[in-house]
């Protein structure tokens, strides 16, 4: 399959969103090679704690080890191939045990006991053969408590892969006076009936909000205005919704920054530093921990969210993270997590929780309309009414410095052009 | 064969021979070990694949329903039926008006959650937020409202738990079907209403808690409006 014919600098062929064969190549060349987010260390606090996670098409397990480290294993018994763990999460005690023939494994996947082991004498499946253990992900690493695994033995390190996008985790953790977050152990899961690319493009598409989210933005703005008139001020969470109804011109001024490997940043537009007592108290804690200058540096990063291409959207100022697990060309599972800043007043958590509930819950008043777009997008791309998807807005206006692409316009489709540049590189490898 | 043990010893394993006929003539009965550990328990006694089993102590049992006076029971049932009817008829303002001024509609993700604020929820809405949701679904450019959808609610098992301190605690169960495009989805679960009386003596909802039985499932598509 000649993939290079499908991606041009200003447009892509519709089949990159719809074709099963292309999807399979994506799983093989991208998902099952690059660093994939598995979870946060606080999801598995104790030895034996595990969390099931999918990397590409591979069922995997993130397991806390006896020595405190975190290992990632293929969830597969080497005997007859049965998935060893059936739950999404739990504690497995000192051993992983297969439900079929009770092969058991240490927490690091190495074999612990095989019933009637003498039956294997003289075969290639004796316990000194490493193939008798559960296979481990080729590489596991973490950054500031966020665990990633790569199924390829070679390739860039985690930090090289993240590149500038590592600021997502810095921006989240630096808001804690101890530099750490912990997971809120509830995950919203939403099944998108669309190719994963729709979500990734949408996250840095600054033109769509005032169109797609107008209904909610206007309804929220009306209530916010009334509460302000009655009470002098309105809680910040009304603004989370009303901001979506800003004008085209305002959105055009919200810049995007586009990095190599397809990562990117949508710069801040919500004004999340009000001067209320809770915010002031929070900033005081940071100043005590980091000093005035560092605190200012940490809090003045202009970030709405950061994309780690091709599957992660981190909204660091509000401590939320969305992770895509592609299922099929037209089916994508989105896992949505929220984190607490350690050592910070409860009010700061609750303020960001409103965003999590209003925007990211399954009853969201925002993503409901995004999901509708993506579903209809997936259907529309089946049409032979046209073969190409256009990314022409402000084409030619891009400014590239040291591999980083900027545009003078926030609504520029430089975002998608940059993502497909990275996609082509992965797919050609 | 019940008398197989009479023919061969219970543990005697017939040895293989030049043909299989003699194997078929013998039967081995293995008996489940009563005390000797076997299976996965023999291999890893501290391992269980299961999540911790919830303790079924008396406190976790649902309280028996009060046999309230017929008047109260019916009055409470009627407000629950009314609410279902208003949702199915898309009478959003009338639905909101069923709530007290400080009323809250809450759908937690897990049964363990006890407060409507402070942990992730599917819905956690006071009246101003309900008004935003109403405004959103009523807006001419609410894209996800085209095509429109239909719902049908059934409410049953109405059990009043207490009527103390001017508040009525009532639990019930619901089943909602939703039709959108050509697909029907089902939502089931339980309601828990805390009802209070307004100045005119009418029952108002102070808190409605909705526990979807599938609250932790991946949602095929989001919920657009209150369930």
Domains and CATH numbers, chain A: 36-155 (2.102.10.10), 163-428 (3.90.380.10)
Strands (E), A193-295: 256-258, 264-266
Contact list, A212 vs chain B (CB under 8 Å): 143
Instruction: For residue A190, give the nearest of B119, B134, B218 by CB distance.
Output: B218
- Domain B65-212 class? alpha beta
Instruction: For residue B43, give the nearest of A102, A238, A367 by CB distance.
Output: A102
Which ipTM score applies to this complex?
0.93
List the Cα angle B37/B42/B47 in 5-degree steps.
125
Q: In a 3-state reduction of DSSP, which class is residue A2? A: coil
Task: Tell me the domain boundaries of chain B.
Answer: 1-45, 65-212
Cβ–Cβ gap B219/A112 under 8 Å: no
With contact defined as beta carbons under 8 Å apart, do A252 and A410 qualify?
yes
CA-CA distances (angstroms) from residue B87 to A112, A156, A357, B94, B98? 57, 54, 22, 9, 12
In 3D space, the residue among A2, A10, A1, A16 whose CA is nearest the CA of residue A423 turns out to be A16
pLDDT given at position B56: 57
Contact list, B131 vs chain A (CB under 8 Å): 219, 223
In terms of Cβ atoms closer than 10 Å to its own Cβ (0-12, 13-18, 19+), residue A221 is: buried
Contact list, B136 vs chain A (CB under 8 Å): 215-216, 219-220, 365
Instruction: State the DSSP code for A75.
Output: S
Pairing of strands A404-406, B167-180: unpaired
CA distance A233 to A235: 7
CA distance A247 to B221: 28
Query: Which residue is it, tokens 């101890």?
Result: A178
A88 token code pair? 């999404």
| Bond prior to A310 in cis (omega within 30° of 0) | yes
Is residue A327 within 8 angstroms of chain B, CB to CB? no
User: Which helix H or strand E contains A360, and what residues bound it?
Assistant: helix A346-360
pLDDT given at position B53: 60
Per-residue tens of pLDDT for chain B, all 227 residues? 444 444 444 556 667 666 777 777 777 777 776 666 778 888 888 888 876 665 556 667 888 888 778 799 999 999 999 999 999 999 999 999 999 999 999 999 999 899 999 999 999 999 999 999 999 999 999 998 888 899 999 999 999 999 988 899 999 999 999 999 999 999 999 999 999 999 999 999 999 999 998 877 888 766 789 99
A171 token code pair? 């921006």
A411 token code pair? 């609504």
Would you place residue A76 in the very low, low, confident or very high pLDDT band (cuts 50, 70, 90)? very high
pLDDT given at position B55: 58
- The residue of chain B nearest to residue A102, with distances taken between CA atoms, is B40
Judge whether residue A137 has pLDDT over 90: yes
Is the dihedral angle over the CA atoms A385, A387, A389, A390 positive or is it negative? Answer: negative
Q: How many CB pairs under 8 A join A and B?
A: 150
Helices (H), chain B: 4-7, 21-24, 39-43, 70-88, 92-97, 127-138
With contact defined as beta carbons under 8 Å apart, do A150 and A142 qualify?
no
Instruction: State the DSSP code for A113.
Output: E
With contact defined as beta carbons under 8 Å apart, do A96 and A104 qualify?
yes
Min Cα separation B102/chain A (Å) = 15
Q: Tell how far CA A159 is from the center of its chain.
A: 16
């Amino acid at each position: 399959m000649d993939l290079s014919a499908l991606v041009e600098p200003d447009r892509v062929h519709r089949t990159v969103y719809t074709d099963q064969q292309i999807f399979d190549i994506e799983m093989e060349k991208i998902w099952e090679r690059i660093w994939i987010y598995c979870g946060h260390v606080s999801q598995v606090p104790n030895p034996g704690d595990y969390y099931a996670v999918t990397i590409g098409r591979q069922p995997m397990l993130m397991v806390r080890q006896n020595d405190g480290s975190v290992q990632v294993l293929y969830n597969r018994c080497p005997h007859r191939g049965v998935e060893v763990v059936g739950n999404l999460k739990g504690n497995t005690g000192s051993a992983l045990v297969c439900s079929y023939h009770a092969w058991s494994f240490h927490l690091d996947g190495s074999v612990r006991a095989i019933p009637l082991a003498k039956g294997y004498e003289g075969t290639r499946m004796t316990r000194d053969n490493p193939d008798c253990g559960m296979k481990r992900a080729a590489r596991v690493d973490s950054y500031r408590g966020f665990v990633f695994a790569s199924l390829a033995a070679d390739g860039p390190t985690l930090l090289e892969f993240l590149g500038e996008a590592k600021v997502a985790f810095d921006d989240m953790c630096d808001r804690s006076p101890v530099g750490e977050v912990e997971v809120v152990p509830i995950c919203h899961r939403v099944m998108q009936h669309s190719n994963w690319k729709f979500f990734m493009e949408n996250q840095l598409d600054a033109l769509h909000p005032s169109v797609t989210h107008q209904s909610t933005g206007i309804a929220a703005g009306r209530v916010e205005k009334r509460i302000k008139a009655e009470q002098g001020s309105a809680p910040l969470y009304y603004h989370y919704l009303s901001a979506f109804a800003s004008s085209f011109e305002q959105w055009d001024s919200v810049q995007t920054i586009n990095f190599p490997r397809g990562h990117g940043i949508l710069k801040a537009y919500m004004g999340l530093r009000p001067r209320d007592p809770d915010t002031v108290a929070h900033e005081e804690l940071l100043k005590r921990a980091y000093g005035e200058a560092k605190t200012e540096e940490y809090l003045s990063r202009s970030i709405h969210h950061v994309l780690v291409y091709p599957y992660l959207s981190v909204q660091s100022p509000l401590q939320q993270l969305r992770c895509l697990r592609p299922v099929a060309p037209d089916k994508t599972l989105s896992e949505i997590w929220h984190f607490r800043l350690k050592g910070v007043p409860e009010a700061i958590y609750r303020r960001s929780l409103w965003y999590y509930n209003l925007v990211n819950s399954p009853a969201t008043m925002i993503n409901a309309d995004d999901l509708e777009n993506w579903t209809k997008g997936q259907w529309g791309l089946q049409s032979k009414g046209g073969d190409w998807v256009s990314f022409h807005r402000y084409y030619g206006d891009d400014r590239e410095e040291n591999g980083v692409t900027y545009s003078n316009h926030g609504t520029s489709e430089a975002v998608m052009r940059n993502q497909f540049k990275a996609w082509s590189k992965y797919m050609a490898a | 064969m019940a008398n197989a043990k009479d023919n061969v010893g219970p543990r005697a394993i017939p040895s293989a021979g030049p043909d299989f006929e003699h194997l078929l003539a013998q039967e081995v009965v293995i008996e489940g070990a009563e005390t000797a550990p076997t299976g996965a328990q023999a291999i890893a006694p501290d391992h269980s694949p299961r999540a911790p089993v919830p303790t079924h102590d008396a406190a976790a049992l649902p309280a028996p329903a009060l046999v309230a006076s017929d008047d109260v029971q019916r009055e409470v049932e009627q407000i629950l039926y009314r609410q279902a009817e208003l949702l199915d008829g898309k009478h959003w303002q009338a639905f909101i008006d069923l709530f007290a001024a400080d009323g809250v509609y809450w759908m937690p993700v897990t049964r363990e959650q006890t407060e409507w604020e402070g942990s992730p929820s599917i819905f956690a809405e006071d009246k101003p937020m309900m008004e935003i949701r109403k405004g959103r679904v009523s807006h001419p450019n609410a894209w996800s409202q085209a095509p429109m959808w239909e719902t049908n609610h059934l409410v049953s098992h109405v059990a009043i738990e207490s009527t103390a301190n001017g508040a009525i605690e009532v639990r019930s169960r619901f089943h909602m079907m939703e039709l959108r495009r050509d697909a029907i989805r089902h939502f089931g679960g339980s309601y828990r209403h805390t009802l209070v009386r307004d100045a005119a003596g009418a029952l108002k909802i102070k808190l409605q808690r909705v526990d979807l039985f599938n609250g932790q499932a991946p949602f095929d598509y989001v919920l657009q409006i209150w369930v």
